[in-house]
Amino acid sequence: MGTRLKEDGSSKKQLLITSILFMGLGHLVYLKQSIKGAIFAAIEIIMLCMLPTIIVKINGLITLGSPHPELPVKLREHSIFMLIDGVMILAVVILFFALYYISIRSALSDYKDFCIEKKLKGNRASMSGLLGKAFPVFGLAPTVGLIVFFVIVPLVFAACAAFTNYSAPKHIPPNNTVDWVGFDNFAAMFGGDATWTTALGRVALWTLVWAILATFTCYFGGMIMAVVLLDNKLKIAPLFRGIFILPYAVPSVVSMLVWQNLLNGSFGTVNRTLMQFGIIDKAIPWLSDPWLAKFTVVMINLWAGFPYFMLLITGTMTAISADLFEAAKIDGAGRFQLFRKITLPLVLYQTMPLIIMSFTHNINNFGAIFFLTGGDPKVADSTITSAGGTDILVTWIYNLTINLSKYNYASVLAIMIFVILAPFAIFQFRRTKSYKEGEL
Amino acid sequence: MRIIRKVNLTVVILFLTIFSLGVIYPLVYVVSAAFSPGNSIASLNIIPFADGFTTQHFTHLFTNTKYLTWFKNTLIIATSTSALTILVASLGAYVFSRFNFAVKKSMMMAMLILQIFPSFVGMIAIYVILLRIGGLDQLWGLVLVYLAGNIPYNTWMVKSYIDTISKSLDESARIDGANHLTIFWKIILPIAKPIIIFLGISSFTAPWMDFIFPKMVLRSADKQTLALGLFSFVTDKKNDFTTFAAGALLVAIPFIIFFIISQKTMVTSFGGAAVKE
């Protein structure tokens, strides 16, 4: 059995076995691509050297460390580091096997070329292949690296934390260790613990109500403004449009903090103005009454959010062909009919994806709640759960993480958000052009 | 619509005027607060500009606070995030648009699902990872976090755009001997300029007002960003609303000018984006 390949394709099995045996071996022995093969082989050698570490880290991921109260705090096993390291090592191992797979495929495809061209490519030609066949690997390397270590690993960690008891006061490393607890947190949140279950029900319901109200008020607010400004042939319409666009142009942190100060119950300008004019006798608790605060956040969000839809709908409305209106007018349609039968359906149809996007954005609209009310006012269960009257799921996650250090419950909420939003993401995916055309 | 037809134009204008006063009221009040003497919002007159005029808050910003440092830090973060996002996302988008490989479908699906998470869900892990690679309290640590968060959605966006560019351009360039990198750099990028500009602007503006990640990553006084600094003026402990207003005004004005200038383009591009779907 020499190291020469047969040109009729019968050496495929031989090459496949060598390539599986050791990464890059097929390139080195049969394809005479020493550089490429050496790189692949080096990767496997590095992985083999790391094997002890990998085993230790994976073991750490399974046990999450054992408590050593006798050791000084610095020397105790840090469960969270062990958990994150374990997840990262898992990611590295998966990436390694992906690369292994790529190396085998590259060997086989080079062999296929050899069978056709009857000569080996050698080093130079195969390296120019780096910019050829292997280009996707290099083009996607930064994307994959960043996404794996800064998006997927953190999310997997968060998902894992939902199955641990990582929470204050008893299980915060490095003083104490964290342990796997299975579905205990889910059990507590969904029925096991009355306080938490009520809070979860309340917050989840408000998150949905908020997202629906916020989207609809902004959409129809924007639509009314777009229609009024377009319909009346006003000479000064651009001026009004310029004013209405301002809330959208101001960064939302700034505008929400401003509103928070203006609406402050005791010294806020809005209340002082209303009192000075004698419209009200005592201060209105804009942000401190649970129900009124909910109303206020929706209204302020309308203030900040209608310009986007106004612009959008203006854009779509001006794109509707004038012929349609002419034809309808000849048939005797009135202005209201024109709007209801032509403008509204067309605009709705064309902006539907953006309505859905806006809905999913509002489910996660941290800024609108956090900077305006901070989730306040406090309600009955707030001292235990840290969820206030206007808190939505994401702001509650923030409170649980920052104020209460209940990382386990925060992670359960993150998984809930995923369950709510994943269908929307899949829906969006299915209606992309490339999916419909069967490319994907 | 029937009602609108009946009421005459003056009522419409009246309605619009009252409405625009309501819309613009908080903004006018911020501008007036920035130039009013005093500190707390409680001491301000309810009528804008009725307290007199002073520029002391701006002087205060530049002499007694680290406003310029905050501004510089934010500018560095925003510029690097923007440049790197363009580079990584457009290169990835090019590969996704022009190549077929084994795991393409699952990778694209994964990216679409990943972008629905607010990135602070993985906050603890990101914190520990940055701690391990020495990225805590470093501007580049924050840039990495933003960059990674930007990639999933923006790669999709640019990919959809590149899909519309005819493949025959690539083909003819390849016949002329261009490799993939040259095709990407010399042919695809120039044609995809509109979406690249949009991507650059959106990833440039986002870091200016982000709060959670800077709060977590940046600790020392010299590494603070504008959002952190401005927020510190109006915390529960102190209410320095006028200084906050002055600082906010300086950030918001460039944003507003830019928006007004590009209003027309935005209307068309928004409309275009909706129609294309």
pLDDT at A182: 82
CA distance B208 to chain A (A): 8
Number of Cβ within 10 Å of residue B235's Cβ equals 9
What residues of chain B lie within 8 A of the CB of A362, using their CB?
none
> Distance between terminal CA atoms of chain A?
42
Whether A234 sits inside 8 A of B12 (CB atoms) is yes
Q: Is A261 touching B (CB cutoff 8 A)? A: yes
What residues of chain B lie within 8 A of the CB of A147, using their CB?
111, 114, 148, 151-152
**How is residue A181 annotated by DSSP?**
-
Instruction: Nearest by CB to A143, from B2, B29, B151: name it.
Output: B151
Whether A311 sits inside 8 A of B155 (CB atoms) is no
The pair of structure tokens assigned to B34 is 């920035």
**A-interface mutation test, from B131, B146, B234, B267, most A Cβ less than 10 A away:** B267
ipTM score: 0.79
Of A270, A253, A254, nearest in space to A262 by CA: A270
pLDDT tens-digit readout, B116-138:
777 777 887 888 888 888 888 88
pLDDT at A439: 56
CA distance B116 to chain A (A): 7
Confidence of residue B80 (pLDDT cuts 50, 70, 90): very high
Of B153, B106, B124, nearest in space to B212 by CA: B124
DSSP sequence for chain B? -HHHHHS-HHHHHHHHHHHHHHHHHHHHHHHHHHTSSSSSGGGS-SSTT-S----HHHHHHHHHS-HHHHHHHHHHHHHHHHHHHHHHHHHHHHHHHH---TTHHHHHHHHHHHTTS-GGGGHHHHHHHHHHTT-TT-HHHHHHHHHHHHHHHHHHHHHHHHHTS-HHHHHHHHHTT--HHHIIIIIIHHHTHHHHHHHHHHHHHGGGG--HHHHHH--SGGG--HHHHHHHHTSSS---HHHHHHHHHHHHHHHHHHHHHTHHHHHHHHHHHHHH-
DSSP sequence for A26-86? HHHHTS--HHHHHHHHHHHHHHHHHHHHHHHHHHHHHH-----TTS-GGGS--HHHHHHHH
pLDDT at B220: 84
CA distance A236 to chain B (A): 9
Q: Is A59 touching B (CB cutoff 8 A)? A: no
Residues in chain A, pLDDT under 50: 1
Whether B16 sits inside 8 A of A240 (CB atoms) is yes
Average pLDDT, chain B: 81
SS (H, E, C) B186-248: HHHHHHCHHHHHHHHHHHHHHHHHCCHHHHHHCCCHHHCCHHHHHHHHCCCCCCCHHHHHHHH
CA-nearest residue to A317 within chain B is B271
Rounded Cα distance between A112 and A8, Å, is 10
CA-nearest residue to A246 within chain B is B256
Instruction: Nearest by CB to B117, from A336, A418, A424: name it.
Output: A418
pLDDT at B1: 53
pLDDT at A16: 83
pLDDT at B4: 54
The 3-state DSSP class for residue A164 equals strand
What residues of chain B lie within 8 A of the CB of A258, using their CB?
26, 29-30, 245, 248
Average pLDDT over residues B148-162: 87
Whether A428 sits inside 8 A of B112 (CB atoms) is yes
The CA distances from residue A169 to A69, A176, A178, A407, in Å, are 16, 10, 11, 11
Whether B274 sits inside 8 A of A316 (CB atoms) is yes
Instruction: Nearest by CB to B99, from A136, A336, A339: name it.
Output: A136
Chains A, B: CB pairs < 8 Å: 282
Average pLDDT over residues B194-201: 83
Whether B277 sits inside 8 A of A247 (CB atoms) is no
Instruction: Nearest by CB to A131, from B13, B179, B211: name it.
Output: B179
pLDDT at A180: 85
B160-B166-B167 Cα angle (round to 5): 100
CA-nearest residue to B8 within chain A is A232
Contact map slice: A 266-305 vs B, CB within 8 A: 266-269, 272-273, 276, 303
pLDDT at B47: 75
Q: Is the pLDDT of residue B41 over 90?
A: no
CA distance B5 to chain A (A): 8
The set of residues, in sequence order, having a beta carbon less than 8 Å from that of A64 and lying 6+ positions away, is A79, A82, A83, A164, A177, A178, A179, A180
The pair of structure tokens assigned to A380 is 């009955």
What residues of chain A lie within 8 A of the CB of B258, using their CB?
249
What residues of chain A lie within 8 A of the CB of B205, using their CB?
251
pLDDT at B85: 94
CA distance B63 to chain A (A): 22
Number of Cβ within 10 Å of residue A20's Cβ equals 14
Contact map slice: A 171-230 vs B, CB within 8 A: 227-229
Rounded Cα distance between A113 and B217, Å, is 51
Q: Is the pLDDT of residue B276 over 50?
A: no
What residues of chain B lie within 8 A of the CB of A101, using their CB?
102
Rounded Cα distance between B189 and B173, Å, is 14
pLDDT at A1: 46
Whether B122 sits inside 8 A of A153 (CB atoms) is yes
Whether A150 sits inside 8 A of B145 (CB atoms) is yes
Rounded Cα distance between B110 and B107, Å, is 5
CA distance B188 to chain A (A): 14
pLDDT at B264: 62
Whether B88 sits inside 8 A of A231 (CB atoms) is no
Average pLDDT over residues B107-111: 83
The CA distances from residue A401 to A149, A169, A398, B122, B125, in Å, are 21, 13, 5, 11, 12
Residues B155, B96: contact at Cβ < 8 Å? yes
Q: Which residue has the higher pLDDT, B209 or A348?
A: A348
CA distance A359 to chain B (A): 12
CA distance A311 to chain B (A): 5
Whether B126 sits inside 8 A of A336 (CB atoms) is no
pLDDT at A30: 79
Q: Is the pLDDT of residue B2 over 70?
A: no
Whether B267 sits inside 8 A of A152 (CB atoms) is no
pLDDT at B114: 81
Contact map slice: A 80-139 vs B, CB within 8 A: 80-81, 84, 87-88, 98, 101, 105, 128, 131-132, 135-136, 139
Q: Is the pLDDT of residue B187 over 80?
A: yes
Rounded Cα distance between A412 and A164, Å, is 10
Whether B23 sits inside 8 A of A264 (CB atoms) is no
CA distance B262 to chain A (A): 11
Whether B117 sits inside 8 A of A135 (CB atoms) is no
